[in-house]
Structure 1
Amino acid sequence: MVKPFIRNHQYNFIHKQVGLLKHACNTVSDPRVVEAVRDRTQYKILEAFPEATELEKQRLEPSTTLRADGEFRDYLNALEPYMAEFGEVTGKQLNKLFPKIKKLKTPDLTAIDYRYVTYLGWTDIATNKMFLVYHLNGQAVGVEGRFTPANKGVCFLCNRHAEVALFSAITKSKPANASPDYYKAIGNYLCVNSDVCNKNITDVTALERFVQEVMGYREV
């Protein structure tokens, strides 16, 4: 039995690669070119799962046979049962992650399909705050910061052009012998709508680096 092993960003990556293959199948007449795209698609997908077991690889391998439009859709649908959920969180847990916020505004947690979540993000317009929750090394961590609307721009997490805001968080890391009032803000342009971002994010490298830097888990 194969347990869920595909994280949301990995599923998005597969979706993107399969989309490129589908486009080649529908627009390229040279079968050699199509097969080259097919081989690259399979390679890129498996490369995204370096620790996959043989059974998990078998679940991913049908992409080598896809040709008709319906087959691409069926392949992606067949992967959904193997999507690993973002660890479900409760309102009480969120309050513990942000203890300094007395009246924390949280999203409707009951309306979230956690299979399609890489990070939990939301804004509180009243306080001009943006919040982000991510599971790092198996533990939920929370990052809060101020946001400044910036209209359209490129999100540093999903690399898509969307409505973004400048998300500025104060790092908990301090140099040795720093003065008591020392602080350093780390700012990045982030999608205002985290649902949109979660649908497009294909890599968590930038997200994990950002969380580590803010939480003081590494040198900055």
Structure 2
Amino acid sequence: MNTPFIRNHQFNVIKKQAEFLQKTLRSVADRGVLATVRHQAVMNIVEAFPSLSEDQKGMLEQISALESAYDFQRYLAALEPYLEPFPPITLKQIQKLFPKNKKLKIPDLVSIDFRYVTYLGWTDIATNKLFIVYSYGGQFIGIEGRLTPTNKKGYCLFCNRHHELAFFSVQTKSASASPDNLSRFGHYVCLDNQVCNESITDTGSLEKFILTARK
């Protein structure tokens, strides 16, 4: 039985290394350079995992021996059964995360392939709000904020890739003694949540933002 151990952002790391290795194979003939690039690709992949069994590590290290585009396709396809999906979540669980939004519009969860989800995000166009649900420490965290398209490309805080951006502004309680004193903070993120999930290779900046927004 296949035990899932590859999260979406880690699979994105693997795909990124596979793409870079294929480009190198097409453009470089020097065996020494190729050996170095192959070794570095393996290192970058393994470093994306806090821990690996010997079998899991061996499975991932197979990328170093691949040659053709077909080999890489088969390699990635063989890893898909080991993808660890975003934890199961129901409509009621999501609604409880946003209790003040009585008319909360939630995406069709059945249509989402949660294997490729690092964070669940959707935009309510009517209110220009972005909603994010993230699993942290065995619990779901929900944050919401104003989303303002910038009509320009740049680097997203969450995925650190160059995409169409929007400014995501979240309201939080300030450090003031008054509990009613609210403040806002925000950052530039991908306008398209799906594109962001397809690109994210590290959850550090995402988690820092979400934990700050939750305070």
Q: Is the 8 A contact 1:121 1:130 kept in 2?
A: yes
Q: Is the 8 A contact 1:2 1:55 kept in 2?
A: no
Please tell me whether residue 165 in structure 1 is matched to residue 170 in structure 2.
Answer: no
Q: Which residue of 2 aligns with 1:155?
A: 156
In structure 1, what is the Cα distance between the partners aligned to 2:79 and 2:199? 17
Matches within 5 A, 1:72-91: 72-91=72-91
Q: Which residue of 2 aligns with 1:135?
A: 135
In structure 2, what is the Cα distance between the partners aligned to 1:10 and 1:16? 10
Q: Which residue of 2 aligns with 1:199?
A: 198
In structure 2, what is the Cα distance between the partners aligned to 1:80 and 1:61? 15
TM superposition shift of 1:208: 0.4
Q: Is the 8 A contact 1:128 1:146 kept in 2?
A: yes
Q: Which residue of 2 aligns with 1:188?
A: 187
Count of residue correspondences:
214
In structure 2, what is the Cα distance between the partners aligned to 1:55 and 1:210? 34
Q: Is the 8 A contact 2:2 2:81 kept in 1?
A: no
Please tell me whether residue 208 in structure 1 is matched to residue 207 in structure 2.
Answer: yes
TM-score, normalised on structure 1?
A: 0.93
**Which secondary structure does the structure 1 equivalent of 2:150 belong to?**
strand
**Which secondary structure does the structure 1 equivalent of 2:182 belong to?**
coil
Matches within 5 A, 1:103-118: 103-118=103-118
- The code of the aligned residue for 1:167 comes to F
**Which secondary structure does the structure 2 equivalent of 1:110 belong to?**
helix
Please tell me whether residue 96 in structure 1 is matched to residue 86 in structure 2.
Answer: no
In structure 1, what is the Cα distance between the partners aligned to 2:65 and 2:84? 25
TM superposition shift of 1:207: 0.4
TM superposition shift of 1:171: 2.4
Gaps of 5+ in 2: none
TM superposition shift of 1:88: 2.2
Q: Which residue of 2 aligns with 1:70?
A: 70
Q: CA RMSD in A?
A: 1.3
In structure 2, what is the Cα distance between the partners aligned to 1:112 and 1:95? 18
Q: Is the 8 A contact 2:24 2:34 kept in 1?
A: yes
Q: Is the 8 A contact 1:163 1:192 kept in 2?
A: yes
**Which secondary structure does the structure 2 equivalent of 1:185 belong to?**
strand
Gaps of 5+ in 1: none
In structure 2, what is the Cα distance between the partners aligned to 1:61 and 1:79? 12
TM-score, normalised on structure 2?
A: 0.95
TM superposition shift of 1:159: 1.7
Matches within 5 A, 1:19-98: 19-98=19-98
**Which secondary structure does the structure 2 equivalent of 1:158 belong to?**
coil
TM superposition shift of 1:193: 1.4
TM superposition shift of 1:2: 4.5
Q: What do the CA deviations read for 1:45-80 (whole angstroms, capped 9, x no partner)?
A: 111113111121122121121111111111111111
In structure 1, what is the Cα distance between the partners aligned to 2:166 and 2:44? 31
Q: What do the CA deviations read for 1:80-138 (whole angstroms, capped 9, x no partner)?
A: 11000001222111110100001001111110000000001111111121100000111
Q: Is the 8 A contact 1:171 1:185 kept in 2?
A: yes
In structure 2, what is the Cα distance between the partners aligned to 1:152 and 1:188? 14
